[in-house]
Amino acid sequence: MNVLVVNSGSSTLKFQVIATDLDRIRQHQDDRLCRGDVEGIGGEATIRFRLRTGPSQTITASLADVAAAVEYVVRWIASDRFGLPEIKNLSDIHAVGHRVVHGGELFQESALIDDKVLQGIENCIDLAPLHNPSNVTGILTARKILGNEVPQVAVFDTAFHQSLPEQAYLYALPYHLYQRHRIRRYGFHGTSHRYVASRYRALRGRTRDETNIITLHLGNGCSAAAIKRGASLDTSMGMTPLEGLVMGTRSGDLDPAIVSVIAQKEEMSISEVDTLLNNQSGLLGVSGLTNDMRELQAELKEHNNRRVRLAIEIFCYRARKYLGAYLASMGGADAIVFTGGIGENSPDIRARISSGMEWAGLRLDATKNHEAVGRESKISTEDSTLLAYAIPTDEELLIARDTVCVTLHETHPA
């Protein structure tokens, strides 16, 4: 099946076409035909794409909104000019998988989209007002162009964490706030945590029941998950993606009273404080320079800048604190898995986070850690009792696989 994977945000759109089926999923032999993204939706947009082989190419087009961007991309992929031999016209797109940010308490797993599912996604708009509307637009536009017969599947960022027990997902607030407004921990990055957990099992030849792991997704957004016997037991992002680890521009955990203190002292509205915590904090806020970890590391090496060092130290300390907390939540773990742009590519950050964790049986092998950049690899020493792995995430691949499995009513191995 040629599956178009769509991740539509309010001003950007990411897409891939992945050819896969049940056999290829079992053998981990899916075929990525192309990938690309659209930036600058709402004006003169830039569309970058790369075919399976060959260099990346860029074109520009005037795209007024998300619907226009999705329509442009779908028609472009299916056109002669695109250059994919597997896709000559619209009928060669066999299914569409959509990343949907928020599934609330309605969706525990990926769902074949019909009107009821679409209504459910719309009902979650108040939980993700910036994201779910674009996802709905992506679904409706694909349906308009490809027709009702082409199956579309929604894969939710929150679904994997629906297994959290009440003690992990409820905040210690008056209970009626949960009942009235669904204020609770949902967690995000679920597709990523689920994917690397399944790769870990595959690499070690273990079943779900035999694995208790902690996954650290460290990208621009960062989150940790405690995964016990294949199910998410706890995760660091909360009702929104703001809670938990330090991120590129998000603060992660802080004393909630600080919100009103900042509002008062800086004469800001609550929504301005919200923006500050989401967009001007984290690595960017502490360093005062950038949210980009690679740049921070280069700056630290060159100038030993104090605030850059602090930003990195706070980032790593918070991650280590979560490791300790989740070891306690799970009663110990077999392994920790690093993923996301930073987790996959930065031996230095992995080493900083893992340092001083010998008490828990965690020892990184310096050579293996150094060599594990952008590839699946065990990075702990042979005598480590808490193993460590670096495993590149691939959310789009899992979305394509879920799309195939849900369409064929098969159980997904991940």
| Residues 225-264 as x/- pattern, contact with ligand ADP by CB under 6 A | -----------------------x----------------
**Is 48 a binder of ligand ADP (CB under 6 A)?**
no
Q: Which is nearer to ligand ADP, 36 or 340 (CB)?
A: 340
Q: How far is the CB of 120 from ligand ADP (least distance, A)?
A: 26
Q: Which is nearer to ligand ADP, 129 or 374 (CB)?
A: 374
Active site residues: 157
Q: How far is the CB of 291 from ligand ADP (least distance, A)?
A: 6
Answer for which of 77, 277, 342, 386 binds ligand ADP (CB under 6 A) is: 342
Cα separation, 100 vs 157, in Å, equals 6
**Is 293 a binder of ligand ADP (CB under 6 A)?**
yes
Q: How far is the CB of 389 from ligand ADP (least distance, A)?
A: 17
Instruction: Provide the Cα torsion 368, 371, 373, 374; round to 10°.
Output: -80
**Is 345 a binder of ligand ADP (CB under 6 A)?**
yes
Q: Which stretch binds ligand ADP (CB under 6 A): 36-44, 74-82, 176-184, 215-223?
A: 215-223
Structure tokens at 110: 């990926």
Q: Which stretch binds ligand ADP (CB under 6 A): 84-92, 224-232, 255-263, 293-301?
A: 293-301
**Is 104 a binder of ligand ADP (CB under 6 A)?**
no
Q: Which stretch binds ligand ADP (CB under 6 A): 98-106, 110-118, 249-257, 290-298?
A: 290-298
Answer for which of 103, 120, 340, 392 binds ligand ADP (CB under 6 A) is: 340
Chain contacts with ligand ADP (rule: CB under 6 A): 219-221, 248, 292-294, 297, 340-342, 345-346
